[in-house]
Structure 1
Amino acid sequence: MSPSLTFALAGNPNCGKTTLFNALTGARQHVGNYPGVTVEKREGRVLSAGRDVTLVDLPGMYSLTAYCADEQAARTFLVEEKPSCVIDVVDAGTLERGLYLTVQLLELGAPVVIALNMMDEVRRRGMVLDTGLLARLLDLPVVETVARVGEGTDTLVREALDYARARRGQWKPLELSYGADVDRALLAMQARIEADRFLVDRFPARWLALKYLENDEDVRALGRRAGATAAFLEESAAALARHVKATRNTFPEAVISDYRYGFIASLLRRGVLRKNASPDRVALTDACDRVLTHTVAGPVIMLAVLFGMFQLTFLVSSYPMAWLEAGFGLLGDTVGALLPEGLLRSLAVSGVIAGVGGVLGFVPLICVMFFLLSCLEDLGYTARMAYMLDRVFRAFGLHGASVMPFIISGGIPGGCAVPGVMAARTLRSPKERLATILSAPFMACGAKIPVYLLLIAAFFPEHPGLVMFAVTLASWAAALGVARLWRSTVIPGASTPFLMELPPYRLPTLRGLCVHTFERAWQYVKKAGTVVLAISIVMWAAMTFPGLPAARQEAFDAKRLELAAARDTLPEGEARTALSQEIDALDNVRAEEALRASLAGRLGVALTSVSRLAGFDWRVNIALIGGLAAKEVVVSTLGTAYDLGEASPDAPETLSARLAADPGFTPAVALALLAFTILYAPCFVTVAVMARETHWKWASFAVVANTALGFVVAVAVFRIARAW
């Protein structure tokens, strides 16, 4: 096989780049981080014509001037790694804007192949693109693609391989004219850079001079560490800035941008883009947005969409969930019958099956919810939600771009706080970014959903969709309220302006929806089979050992033998049945005492002096402690606790039924637990990511402050609900 090549996949956000990456690599991909930064790095393998190609999916960017961590990581990769080819994914419907990044890649000297994506939408809108002419004018391959259905992907890879082979790793910078003033300064700076060999091993000389004129702080900081030439370049850039300000009342970066767009416009005017003979019509996207993003109708429709999603989720998943719960119940009975009484059976039935089974029982609902969420994302509606919520966010001291971290974290239930916290990197204001990171974990992430669903099934089964909808709104209210609190106290500062792109509406494909649903559901199942399983076993051990004192155990055994002997002497009838029920009650008392005597039980009992203010008993305390590791563990720990603490053969089969049958677990307690679960400390993985994105000081602050706030709210909810 020929030597491996590295291709980079670049493009604007929402251009279909990630869809193309998934179409090209399939399952042959993995995720890591770029060296030295916390930005996610996705790599995959493509096999074509005897070549083993490594494809790197760069973060979405609009230019090579790095304003945030994502853009910095993408540019650093291009400059440091110098991939064999850069596949530039351009939304064919917004060609002028997409080609702006293309021009900058060419100025850097990269071997570029353009993937004109979403060509199906261009054709539907009555537009004609002459890709052959564009390829000749730019002297590079241009391939038409429709990534969501795989159209043009094979041709794209072949063209990229051929072009990379022809270029042989050579980078040839494109040189544009930016007018007499800028060109004169560029030539002088370029000559000095080349004479001093200043950073020429990393950057083309002219491109480096351009970055100085564009006031690129990252490049300037790098230059100051590299040598004295940096001072000359900064002074030259400052002199040009003064001249341009005096003569044109503008800035060098604006002049450079204008000339780049002028170059792109000249390409398009030469026949690259034209309308066909059919009359112009209003794009479907614009027509839909007039209604869906309307000041009044838009928010109403958004709430209706979310409410309908919850109703449909519970309606479709109710029967599969019941079947799965019955299956785990049967499995527990079967394993319990096969294994002899003792620690092994307790571990298998109470630790593994009752613990993990309680979490996996929600897989059907998770799948339905993820499928509907993927529909909204692929359709392009989540971006409209962000647009409509911008004004609301600004009122709470956040940035409009904070909406997407909230949505990713579980603003539409089923997300995850870890990528949600990482998504806050796109915010340029450090204070708004910090406030977003601290409040995003309040969303209804996929780990919290099993807790919500368990409590809803136990205490509010008549209107599950409505209650889940209310929990989601409560999560949003909590996040925004806490963000306003922190922005008014520990993170003060003004909000910054918001600008975002609304991608065109696209009809999702069934294959894409199924792939997205499977990926998310598999992550949920994998977590249940690894993290939750491990923690369930640890919690089972903590709830089993050291067990009852020997004297107390012997007293129970003696009393049981006495009752069993008396029962066996009686014929069938009411007296024998009464003794059997007394034996079951004795077994339940022994099981509950053993659980109370365990390490976890003692800790849970010790906390009841405080937790009882919110209605939480010692079992709930144990579960909430386990939830610090992963929120799903709240369900698995309750399953183990109620299984270990209930020895009666007549006990309800499902955990939700057991909770409902517990006289101490009332609807008021359930509401308080819902409130506390929304607010209290994020899971350990999220805390670690928060520390990595900010500092351990802020991560620790989130753990302590969120838990304290959550308990205060839970106490208030419990008191109000009980009085109601």
Structure 2
Amino acid sequence: MAITIALAGNPNSGKSTLFNSLTGSNQYVGNWPGVTVEQKTGKYKKDKEVHFTDLPGIYSLSPYTLEEVVSRDYLVNERPDVIIDVVDATNIERNLFLATQLLELGIPVVIALNMMDVVRKNNDFIDIKKLEKDLGCKIVEISALKNENIDKLIETAKSVAGQKKMTYQEFEEDVEKYIKEIEEFSVIKDNPAKRWLAVKLFEQDEKIMKEFPLYGKETRRLEEIIEEAEEKYDDDGEGIITDGRYNFVSNVTKDTVKKGRKGMTTSDKIDRIVTNRFLSIPIFVGVITLVYIIAINFVGGPVTDWVNDVFFTEIIGENFRGFLENAGTSEFLTSLLVDGIIAGVGAVLGFLPVIAVLFLFIAILEDIGYMSRIAFILDRVFRKFGLSGKSFIPILMGTGCSVPAIMGTRTIESDNDRRMTIMTASFMPCGAKLDVIAMFAAFLGGSWWYAPIWYFGGIMAVVVSGIILKKTKYFSGDPAPFVMELPEYHMPSARNIFKATWFRCKAFIVKAGTVILLATVAVFLLKSISLDGHFVDFNADPEDSILAGFGKIIAPIFAPLGFGDWMASVATILGLVAKEIVVGTYGVLAGIGEVGAEDSSMVALVASKFSVASAFAFVFFNQLTVPCFAATGAIKEEMGSNKWFGLAIGYQLLFSYTVAFMIYQFGRVIEGGSFNLMTGLAVVVLFIYGYLLFRKDRSKLENKNFSNKENDEVVKYESN
């Protein structure tokens, strides 16, 4: 018999780790109906009759966030057979606050006491039997990270499915009397969740009051009950219930939880340094700099050169060319396969070692718990500029791929902050853009500062954009409140790290074998056909090709940015499909299959077309401009309207163009070029940015004036 199990729990309780462990690849990701909060469902990999729904991480069933709304709507309306409440055993008191609410829903609850391996390591003790008795539900000790007791948890959940008798927390005598009376109101008395609904009516929960309206005597009686309770307890209904829950949880944990260690934990000691007001930013800069130096400078140089020049050129390219020639394959097909597909796709995959190392380090930082600290650190700094740290969680995800970063904005409650984050999340250097960065690293000599400059440049672009946009009427308002739970530091799991790294690398390889392959074929064909429709010689300069003709038409657009060459223009436009195509295009045009291991013709081609100033302008433009098709589609979906989508794309184009314009024009002067009309225009653009950054926020001035006007009216009224 099929059963449905809902996984509930606080953020960072290990719920997603448990869900992934239970379902493996048997899961589906979509949206909750009517909202943009992600919905995950899956089947138990050991029993396809057991279905799981992974609810968003929440702290309560009060309707303060979208996550809480969709979670409670699902539990009340869909009513799964069992709820597994994933509780962080190292933080049990705070986590049990949600459990007291879940137990009132009339659905069997099993508590998965997660991270018990850490509890034992800390010499803490939890009396499971007494805790089960006090809460009135089954409890299973697990470690989702180490797959401990997972099978026992599911068997326990299956055993309680269908149970009718439920136990729940009882409040103080008078409060309990009020709630029992409300339970008998006609609108809820036959509802399986009547206990929870009665509590919510006592709290005067707006959503529940609308869904379960009272009439006549029951309306008046509820008003009398609330008035009596508020007068007796000197608090509103919600405050009375909240205090009752916390007192209950506090008493339960005091009797069942014994701490073995006193004083600061290891995580607390580390955080005293890592999140220190003065040391946190230098440590963050140092960590990210080291990651990028290792990925691009140490790995990017020797390994990428070998992969491009030896593996894809000599081992695969030349051997395959010889095989095709011996087989009597036509010159056109041979050149297409070797100089087109192998050269283009090989140029992209040549940077896979760089990307794999970067993804590996990001996975380690995520697994040990440092990445969540970065959001906390940045919130403390950027809140001074009116920006919320909640926006930086999806932005930090952008270092892997812009698509999940854009989709991650769903957790931001403020529409203004969410839209602003969607517009800027793709400014971070994702794995695809790292291809472009690594290619130019070889050209620019691989200085130690080159690698991380793009990461911090992305953060700076986000901050500058945030300050400018926040001062417009479309995005004005106070930053969204940011509350997050910092997980305990722990040793990284090799399984989780390599799984996360492989997942990201696999996506990169699949794209190289599909989108990039098709793009390189298109580039090769367009560079091999002349404007009059004839095939040009494969070894000839493709200046008369269709590709060159198109590039020359659009090249003037990019000339003020320093890369008005047709090759750079074509690569940039094709990069809107996927940023890896920028490298693939140069790979095809350079004919990587024609060179030896002592030199890379692609790097030589780049060096012949760019100065240092134009190279920086080119990379920054491709980093900050409209992202790939997949990310652009995500922007359109998340914005929810053509107007906002158009505004986002327009801003990205304007911002990237003006930034690249200033970089090139000022860089050209630094390199010894003359000060001309374009340089003067760059100065004007710089002053405009300065004005937009430092002008006063009109929305705050209007609010202040409105407040002063209100106060004046109050004074006048009182004086009269």
Pairwise TM-score range, normalised by the shorter structure:
0.7 to 0.9
More displaced 10-residue stretch of structure 1: 507-516 or 319-328: 319-328
Alpha-carbon separation, structure 2, partners of 1:705 and 1:67: 31
Alpha-carbon separation, structure 1, partners of 2:647 and 2:378: 27
Q: CA distance change for structure 1 residues 301 and 478 in 2, over 3 Å: closer, same or farther?
A: same
Is 2:232 aligned against 1:251? no
Is 2:463 aligned against 1:454? no
Question: Which residue of structure 1 lines up, in the alignment, with residue 633 of structure 2?
Answer: 688
Alpha-carbon separation, structure 1, partners of 2:513 and 2:218: 57
Match of 1:142 among 139, 144, 156: 139
Question: Which residue of structure 2 lines up, in the alignment, with residue 712 of structure 1?
Answer: 658
Report the Cα offset of residue 121 of structure 1: 1.8
Q: CA distance change for structure 1 residues 712 and 52 in 2, over 3 Å: closer, same or farther?
A: same
SS class of match (1:86): strand
Q: CA distance change for structure 1 residues 366 and 104 in 2, over 3 Å: closer, same or farther?
A: same
How do 1:114-129 residues align onto structure 2 when only pairs under 5 Å count? 114-129=111-126
Question: Which residue of structure 1 lines up, in the alignment, with residue 478 of structure 2?
Answer: 494
SS class of match (2:185): helix
Question: Which residue of structure 2 lines up, in the alignment, with residue 700 of structure 1?
Answer: 646
Do the aligned partners of 1:439 and 1:480 also contact (CA within 8 Å) in 2? Answer: no
SS class of match (1:192): coil
Do the aligned partners of 2:516 and 2:581 also contact (CA within 8 Å) in 1? Answer: yes
Letter in 1 for 2:117: D
Alpha-carbon separation, structure 2, partners of 1:711 and 1:363: 29
Is 2:413 aligned against 1:428? yes
Do the aligned partners of 2:179 and 2:199 also contact (CA within 8 Å) in 1? Answer: no
Counting aligned pairs with the same residue, the percent is 34
Alpha-carbon separation, structure 2, partners of 1:238 and 1:459: 74
Listed one character per residue, the Cα deviations across residues 124-159 of structure 1 (whole Å, up to 9, x for unaligned) are 333210112212333322111122111222222222
How do 1:237-386 residues align onto structure 2 when only pairs under 5 Å count? 248-269=233-254, 271-276=255-260, 280-314=262-296, 315-316=298-299, 318-325=301-308, 326-330=310-314, 331-337=316-322, 338=324, 340-386=329-375
How do 1:142-291 residues align onto structure 2 when only pairs under 5 Å count? 142-164=139-161, 167=162, 170=164, 172=166, 174=168, 176-177=170-171, 180=174, 183-184=177-178, 187-188=181-182, 190-194=184-188, 200=191, 204-214=193-203, 216-220=205-209, 222=211, 229=214, 248-269=233-254, 271-276=255-260, 280-291=262-273
Listed one character per residue, the Cα deviations across residues 355-376 of structure 1 (whole Å, up to 9, x for unaligned) are 2222211221222111111111
Q: CA distance change for structure 1 residues 711 and 358 in 2, over 3 Å: closer, same or farther?
A: same
Listed one character per residue, the Cα deviations across residues 207-252 of structure 1 (whole Å, up to 9, x for unaligned) are 23433444545445555xxxx6489988877776666666655332
Question: Which residue of structure 1 lines up, in the alignment, with residue 577 of structure 2?
Answer: 629
Alpha-carbon separation, structure 2, partners of 1:444 and 1:488: 26
Listed one character per residue, the Cα deviations across residues 556-592 of structure 1 (whole Å, up to 9, x for unaligned) are 88xxxxxxxxxxxxxxxxxxxxxxxxxxxxx75x432
Match of 1:608 among 547, 555, 558: 555
Alpha-carbon separation, structure 2, partners of 1:222 and 1:631: 49
Alpha-carbon separation, structure 2, partners of 1:283 and 1:141: 29
Do the aligned partners of 2:5 and 2:82 also contact (CA within 8 Å) in 1? Answer: yes
Do the aligned partners of 2:19 and 2:54 also contact (CA within 8 Å) in 1? Answer: yes
SS class of match (2:170): coil
Listed one character per residue, the Cα deviations across residues 424-458 of structure 1 (whole Å, up to 9, x for unaligned) are 22222221222222211111122211111111122
Question: Which residue of structure 2 lines up, in the alignment, with residue 28 of structure 1?
Answer: 26
Q: CA distance change for structure 1 residues 668 and 146 in 2, over 3 Å: closer, same or farther?
A: same
Question: Which residue of structure 1 lines up, in the alignment, with residue 615 of structure 2?
Answer: 670
- Root mean square deviation of aligned Cα: 2.9
Match of 1:65 among 57, 62, 77: 62
Do the aligned partners of 2:188 and 2:197 also contact (CA within 8 Å) in 1? Answer: no
Do the aligned partners of 1:108 and 1:174 also contact (CA within 8 Å) in 2? Answer: no
Q: CA distance change for structure 1 residues 632 and 77 in 2, over 3 Å: closer, same or farther?
A: farther
Q: CA distance change for structure 1 residues 181 and 139 in 2, over 3 Å: closer, same or farther?
A: closer
Do the aligned partners of 1:189 and 1:236 also contact (CA within 8 Å) in 2? Answer: no
Alpha-carbon separation, structure 1, partners of 2:4 and 2:306: 48
Listed one character per residue, the Cα deviations across residues 459-480 of structure 1 (whole Å, up to 9, x for unaligned) are 232x2x5212111111100011
Match of 1:549 among 526, 532, 535: 532
Question: Which residue of structure 1 lines up, in the alignment, with residue 683 of structure 2?
Answer: none
Alpha-carbon separation, structure 2, partners of 1:214 and 1:352: 66
Alpha-carbon separation, structure 2, partners of 1:118 and 1:231: 51
Do the aligned partners of 1:28 and 1:45 also contact (CA within 8 Å) in 2? Answer: yes
Is 2:109 aligned against 1:112? yes
More displaced 10-residue stretch of structure 1: 62-71 or 398-407: 62-71
Match of 2:451 among 461, 465, 468: 468
Residues paired across the two proteins, number: 660
SS class of match (1:8): strand
Report the Cα offset of residue 63 of structure 1: 1.3
Match of 2:464 among 470, 478, 481: 481
Is 2:2 aligned against 1:13? no
Alpha-carbon separation, structure 2, partners of 1:186 and 1:429: 37
TM-score of the pair, normalised by structure 2: 0.85
Question: Which residue of structure 2 lines up, in the alignment, with residue 657 of structure 1?
Answer: 603
Do the aligned partners of 1:355 and 1:639 also contact (CA within 8 Å) in 2? Answer: yes
Alpha-carbon separation, structure 1, partners of 2:83 and 2:486: 25
Letter in 1 for 2:171: S
Q: CA distance change for structure 1 residues 515 and 648 in 2, over 3 Å: closer, same or farther?
A: closer
Alpha-carbon separation, structure 1, partners of 2:89 and 2:362: 26
Question: Which residue of structure 2 lines up, in the alignment, with residue 39 of structure 1?
Answer: 37
Letter in 2 for 1:364: P
Q: CA distance change for structure 1 residues 220 and 384 in 2, over 3 Å: closer, same or farther?
A: same
SS class of match (2:541): helix
Listed one character per residue, the Cα deviations across residues 315-370 of structure 1 (whole Å, up to 9, x for unaligned) are 25644433322211232333334153454334323442222222211221222111
Q: CA distance change for structure 1 residues 677 and 212 in 2, over 3 Å: closer, same or farther?
A: farther
Question: Which residue of structure 1 lines up, in the alignment, with residue 430 of structure 2?
Answer: 445
Q: CA distance change for structure 1 residues 718 and 43 in 2, over 3 Å: closer, same or farther?
A: same
Do the aligned partners of 2:135 and 2:169 also contact (CA within 8 Å) in 1? Answer: no
Letter in 1 for 2:372: A
Report the Cα offset of residue 26 of structure 1: 3.0
SS class of match (1:682): coil
Alpha-carbon separation, structure 2, partners of 1:232 and 1:357: 77
Alpha-carbon separation, structure 2, partners of 1:601 and 1:235: 80
Report the Cα offset of residue 541 of structure 1: 4.2
TM-score of the pair, normalised by structure 1: 0.84
Report the Cα offset of residue 181 of structure 1: 5.4
Letter in 2 for 1:263: F
Question: Which residue of structure 1 lines up, in the alignment, with residue 589 of structure 2?
Answer: 641
Q: CA distance change for structure 1 residues 675 and 213 in 2, over 3 Å: closer, same or farther?
A: farther
